[in-house]
Structure 1
Amino acid sequence: MQVDKAEFGSITIDGKTYDHDVIIQLSGKIEKRRKKLSKEKYGTSHIISKAEAKYVFEDGCDVLIVGAGHNGNVSLSQEASDYFDKKGCRVILQPTPEAIRFFNQSHEKKIGLMHVTC
């Protein structure tokens, strides 16, 4: 699994381009991020809710790598942060280009949540 690049509004993974936020599961499967889980609670998808955290997390995950957008506008709610702490899952939150580099270099059991705009 290799994240090739991200441009504002898209991300390319293993040669396939997606024009929406994605979750890269432990298995390497790519799925569309369910932003409405956070938007319903906060009115924005820029704050990750506990409901979205529960959806994203998989048993066995050591680290969640969050691409917080090109300008780093995405953050975790306190409830989501507490949830990941309770699960023993470290969270790396960086602007998407830096998160991609970290994702590609990490050999940990990881999940990626990549925001492709702002």
Structure 2
Amino acid sequence: MEIEGTTFGSITIDGKTYEHDVIIRLSGEVTKRKKKLSKKYYGTSHIVSKDEAKFVFEDGCKQLILGTGQFGNVHLSQEAEAYLAKRSCTVLLQPTPEAIQTFNGSRARKIGLFHVTC
């Protein structure tokens, strides 16, 4: 699996372009991010809630690479941070273009969550 690149509003993975935020599962499956899990608490998808962290996390995941958007606007809530830390999942937050490079280069058992706009 390779993430080829991103532009504002899209991400290209294995030759397919997605025009929404995505999660790349441990298996390599690409799914749409469920922003509503965070929006219901914060009114925005720029803060990842504990509910969304629970949805994203999978047993065996050692690293979550969070693409925080083209300009780095997304972050974890304190509750989401604590939830992932309790499961020994290291979180790397980087603007999406940088997070793509990190994801492609990482050999850890990882999940990617990529925000494709701001």
TM bracket (short chain): over 0.9
Counterpart CA distance in 1 for 2:68 and 2:33 is 13
Runs of 4+ in 1 over 6 A off after TM superposition: none
Counterpart CA distance in 2 for 1:98 and 1:62 is 19
Per-residue CA deviation, residues 41-91 of structure 1 (Å, 9 max, x unaligned), is 000000000000000000000100000000000000000000000000000
Q: Which residue is equivalent to 1:116?
A: 116
Counterpart CA distance in 1 for 2:71 and 2:106 is 22
Structure 2 unaligned blocks of 5 or more: none
Shift of 1:40: 0.3
Per-residue CA deviation, residues 5-30 of structure 1 (Å, 9 max, x unaligned), is 00000000000000000000000000
Counterpart CA distance in 2 for 1:113 and 1:13 is 13
Q: For the aligned residues, what is the CA RMSD? A: 0.3
2:41 aligned partner, one-letter code: K
Q: Which residue is equivalent to 2:38?
A: 38
Q: With structure 2 as the length reference, what TM-score do the two structures score?
A: 1.00
1:46 aligned partner, one-letter code: H
For the residue of structure 2 that corresponds to 1:65, the secondary structure is strand
1:8 aligned partner, one-letter code: F
Counterpart CA distance in 2 for 1:79 and 1:71 is 23
For the residue of structure 1 that corresponds to 2:65, the secondary structure is strand
Superposition map of 1:1-118 within 5 A: 1-118=1-118
Structure 1 unaligned blocks of 5 or more: none
Counterpart CA distance in 1 for 2:10 and 2:86 is 32
